[in-house]
Amino acid sequence: MAPLCQEARGEWPDDAAPGQVGGRAGRVWRAWGASEVNGDMEVWCKKVLQPSLTYRWAVGPLEMWLRGVRDELHVATKRGDEAAEAHRLVPLEPCEPAVDGLDWARWVVHPEGTSMPEQLDVQLVAVMPDRAVVARPESPLRLPKGTAALFFVSIPVWVRLLGHAQGRGAIGKANEQALTLNEFPTLVLSNIWFGDTMSGELCYSLPTTARRQIEDEPVRPHRARCPVYLRNDSEEELNIQRIRVHVAHLSVFDAGRRLWTNRVNITFKGEEAGSQMEFVPGPPQEADGKATLVGEPRELAQRRFWTRAFAALDSLF
């Protein structure tokens, strides 16, 4: 599997079904470009593990150790305090072989029908959490009809671990399959119920607020900024107390030590009609300079779909 370290230049794929992510009517960007990048976001590229060496990797509060043993990948993790480790960014590099007090998990990455691996590759991919997230503005905000506001939501990414043991099959062809072994949240989020008891959804509650200005926000490499544009297209006033974002449909981009997602447009049509949600392809315009695709969406989505995106305090449990 080619690494997702690619400059975010691209086009609409011609072969995707209309109305789905990946198609011209969809909302996913197909990127191409350099297969490797220089600088801090080398943490998200593919790496060949040398035998008998232990490797260390860290982003924000999440720290990870990896080692390849024949056809197995051994992994240990530790999660620290976010406030103390918010700026930490360590590419995958060899470290001291003896690490005390860690619990190691083991995965076999040797595909059936192939020879013993000639080398073991790993790739750490930034992805969105596996549930929708709920954010709140710094204080409740009212949008009269015909008005709009841009928010920035800070979302702790998850880390998807891919393993690839390069061996050869019975007819001598190289194995190109990468296995998804596990996912690790950089920050463990608390649960929150969004909506009523009959039609609600279990989500993650974000510990930080949705902000209107971000100029003074510190760089935290384990968090992705998500621009959320809210528009009130109804005949009633919209009182924004909580916002739900379906993050499974978002890509993750790097713009130099800071991660971004593509932009989300939410149009409120009224309490009964609900809201229309749209995922804009490619990196947002706020990501200055070259952006690098480091994580694809978890799920395909239609270009636009209807959802309940806002809630008052009494709709949350």
Q: Which of 121, 136, 188, 138 is nearest to 158 (CA)?
A: 188
Residue 206: pLDDT band with limits 50, 70, 90: very high
Residue in the block written with tokens 């809210």: 230
pLDDT of residue 195: 79
Would residue 136 count as lying in a domain? yes
With respect to residue 87, please indicate whether it lies within any of the assigned structural domains: yes
Q: In whole angstroms, give the CA distance from residue 251 to residue 126.
A: 9
Q: Domain for residue 72, yes or no?
A: yes
Q: How confident is the model at residue 112 (pLDDT cuts 50, 70, 90)?
A: low
In a domain, 1, yes or no: no
Residue 30 pLDDT: 32
Confidence label for 74 from pLDDT (cuts 50, 70 and 90)? very high
* DSSP character at residue 41: G
- Please, which residues have CB within 8 angstroms of residue 92's CB and are 6 or more apart in sequence? 43, 47, 55, 56, 57, 66, 122, 124
> Per-residue confidence at 69, pLDDT binned at 50, 70, 90?
confident
Domain span at 280: 6-315
Average pLDDT, stretch 189-210?
A: 87
Of 222, 224, 197, 17, residue with least CA distance to 135: 224
Q: What is the pLDDT of residue 306?
A: 45
Residue 90 domain flag: yes
- At residue 102, does pLDDT exceed 60? yes
- CB of 291 closer than 8 Å to CB of 254: yes
Amino acid identity of 305?
A: F
Residue 184 near residue 62, CB atoms below 8 Å: yes
- The answer to whether 167 and 246 have CB atoms below 8 angstroms apart is no
pLDDT digits (tens, 9 = 90+) for 133-185: 999 888 888 999 999 999 999 999 999 999 887 655 444 445 566 889 999 99
pLDDT higher than 60, residue 196: yes
pLDDT at 262: 94
Cα distances (Å, whole numbers) of residue 15 to 11, 30, 183, 316 = 12, 12, 30, 42
pLDDT computed for residue 97 by the predictor: 67
Instruction: State how many domains the chain has.
Output: 1
Helices (H) and strands (E) in the chain, counts: 1, 27
Report whether 301 contacts 27 (CB < 8 A). yes
pLDDT at 27 over 50: no
pLDDT > 50? residue 38: no
3-state secondary structure of 247: helix
Distance CA 310, CA 137 (A): 11
Comparing CA positions, the residue from 287, 299, 303 lying closest to residue 7 is 287
Q: How many CB atoms lie within 10 A of CB 188?
A: 12
289 has pLDDT over 90: no
